[in-house]
Amino acid sequence: METQTIPSGLGSRVQEISQSVAGAIALAALGVVAGFVSALGINPLFAILETGWALFGELLQNYIVQPGFGLVAAGYVWWCDDYNPLDRIQVPSLEGVAWIGLGAVGYELAVRVVTLMLPLFGLSHGGHDGQMTPTWRIFFDHPEIIVPGLVVMFVFMAPMEELLYRGVIHDALEPALGSLGRVLVGGLLFGGMHIFLSGGLISLLFTSIFGVLAAAGYERTENLIVPIMAHAGYWLMFSPF
């Protein structure tokens, strides 16, 4: 009986893809672990700040895992000599601005549409019922936290999260996968992270949608500013305080 063998070229290609995806999964998993460690370390510090500046401390409680993401991303940049995130930071083009809007507004619209469909499958998600005050409204009512709040979201937390899940993980997938593969795998890994940090399959579904939108914008523009602005913009406009 004649045995079939896999052509050497195809076998090496499969191995290359497997190694690339496995590396990206490992980075995403390391981000989850670092996020938990960050939460354990940062949360008490933010709680102390909340006792002296209640509203700002309450805002910070929404961003306790991002410092862990930033540490993993920084470690990757230090370890990988040929990846410099500064090369992927530019002033957004008109297309980049459009992707920023699509990432923030398009995600919110997708969430609203999917939320309406969930009861058809016996599911529900209370996090997008519109009953909580969005961050921009809190800023409008309390202008004293506008500047520190915007700095936290746009300068620190969104960049740390996007550098890991769009920059680093995307870079790990780049040698082996094409554009569509990088967008889909990267988006799903971003959503998968939220199973552990946010909880539940509904969170996986919603955050995977944003992950795909952000990854697509980054893939098209090769500019980290695009997913950073989309992410922080969503937090500002739609995320409940």
Tens-digit pLDDT profile for residues 221-233: 999 999 999 999 9
What pLDDT is recorded for position 9? 66
What pLDDT is recorded for position 169? 95
Phi and psi for 193 in degrees, rounded to 5? -60, -35
Q: Which range is least confidently modeled, 33-37, 49-53, 60-64, 158-162?
A: 49-53
What is the pTM (predicted TM-score) of this model?
0.91
Tens-digit pLDDT profile for residues 192-226: 988 887 777 888 899 999 999 999 999 999 999 99
Query: How far apart are alpha carbons 112 and 158 in whole angstroms?
Result: 23
Mean pLDDT of 8-32: 86
pLDDT tops 60 at residue 87 = yes
Mean pLDDT of 174-180: 89
Tens-digit pLDDT profile for residues 38-54: 999 998 888 787 787 88
Phi and psi for 47 in degrees, rounded to 5? -65, -40
Query: How far apart are alpha carbons 239 and 108 in whole angstroms?
Result: 9
Phi and psi for 134 in degrees, rounded to 5? -70, 160
For CA atoms 90, 93, 98, 99, the dihedral sign is negative
Mean pLDDT of 62-85: 92
Query: How far apart are alpha carbons 28 and 193 in whole angstroms?
Result: 7
Mean pLDDT of 88-110: 96
3-class secondary structure per residue, 193-205: HHHHHHHCHHHHH
Amino acid at site 139: F
Going by the DSSP 8-state scheme, the letter that residue 3 receives in this structure is: P
What pLDDT is recorded for position 86? 86
Place of tokens 């554009």: 179
pLDDT bin (cut points 50, 70, 90) of residue 124 is confident
Residue 107: which of 186, 223, 211, 190 has the closest Cα?
Answer: 211
Query: How far apart are alpha carbons 47 and 57 in whole angstroms?
Result: 7
| Environment class of 150 (CB within 10 Å of its CB; exposed 0-12, middle 13-18, buried 19+) | middle
What pLDDT is recorded for position 1? 47
Residue 83: which of 146, 207, 174 has the closest Cα?
Answer: 174
Q: Which range is least confidently modeled, 75-89, 121-135, 166-180?
A: 121-135
**Token couple for 228:** 């950073």
Q: Is there a contact between 171 and 186 (Cβ–Cβ < 8 Å)? A: no
Tens-digit pLDDT profile for residues 127-140: 544 457 899 999 99
In percent, the amount of the chain with pLDDT more than 90 equals 64
Mean pLDDT of the chain: 89
What pLDDT is recorded for position 241? 75
What pLDDT is recorded for position 95? 97
